[in-house]
Amino acid sequence: MKVTVVGAGAVGASCAEYIAIKNFASEVCLIDIKEGFAEGKAMDLMQCASLNGFDTKIVGATNDYSKTANSVVAVITSGIPRKPGMTREELIGINAGIVKSVSSNLIEHSPDVIIIVVSNPMDTMTYLVHKNTDLPKNRIIGMGGALDSARFKYRIAEALSCPSSDLDGMVIGGHSDKGMVPLIEKATRNSVNVSEFLSPERMNQIVNDTKVGGATLTGLLGTSAWYAPGAAVSEIVKAIALDSHKMIPCSALLDGEYGIEGLSIGVPCIIGKNGIEKIVEISLTDSEKNKLKESAEGVAKTNTLLD
């Protein structure tokens, strides 16, 4: 299985590294517009192969999309990252043009590719790929929910002083500070609702800390995070490669599910060899429904900036 990662910056390199280390892909192709940058990152990562025990081949290319031919999956990370104080929505002007061009180039050389969108604002960029390509909707996936859910479980583990492997929790809605809907009432520790262990005040703090998880890291790092986004992407790619039918929250184009139509937003998805095999409609409380509706309205408003 061949995977292409467009953008060899911190996020793209992390994607390539985690995909290689998990050893389910035959080749990862890194593409970047900066001369020699992807080639250098690929060489550096390949020098880790004997140390980290992977056999995946990693190659790099400067803006040469012919090298991406026959990719099963392509990950779009390219675009400008957030800086402290910036919202994801403020990136739309520059990143929209980049994502539109990149997706067209990818499809030219791999017409049946599955595209995973990481570039922000992620839900709107995912919608843009739907709008500007002829790919079926199951082959266009936004990464956000997978990352947000990992950050959610990190915060729950922190509150409970327990390993994250004990936890099950999910974030749906838009990948934005205001739009995320962490499903705290459904989160469990070994099948026991976390409300059995935590006060309502602590649960509310977890929700709020999750929603500003990206902004918190941007403030600390001076730019967008990269380790967790790379790991989140690798989990989606792995589910496709192994046809595992794993349920992962992803940004998917909805056609009436959850009462939402014509926009991409985070919902539980079954991920397999065809990309999004199924959108899962789970039961939501009235409060959760209202929050998801508000989130969808926010995403729709950002989408209008594309026109």
Backbone dihedral angles phi then psi of residue 284, each to the nearest 5 degrees: -115, 150
Residue type, 39: E
**How far is Cα 216 from Cα 212, in angstroms, rounded to an integer?**
6
Please answer whether residues 280 and 164 qualify as being in contact, where contact means their C-beta atoms are separated by less than 8 angstroms: no
Sheet with 167-168: strands ordered across: 167-168, 188-189, 192-193
3-state helix, strand, coil in the chain (%, to 5): 50, 20, 30
Hey, what are 207's tokens? 């929700």
Give yes or no for a contact between 116 and 275, defined as CB atoms under 8 angstroms apart.
no
The single residue of 109, 130, 175, 245 carrying the catalytic annotation is: 175
Two tokens at 57? 């081949």
Distance CA 276, CA 236 (A): 10
Q: Is 245 a catalytic residue?
A: no
Taking CA 168 as the corner, what is the angle to CA 74 and CA 12, rounded to the nearest 5 degrees? 25
Q: Is 145 exposed, middle or buried (0-12, 13-18, 19+ CB in 10 A)?
A: buried
Which residues are catalytically annotated?
A: 175
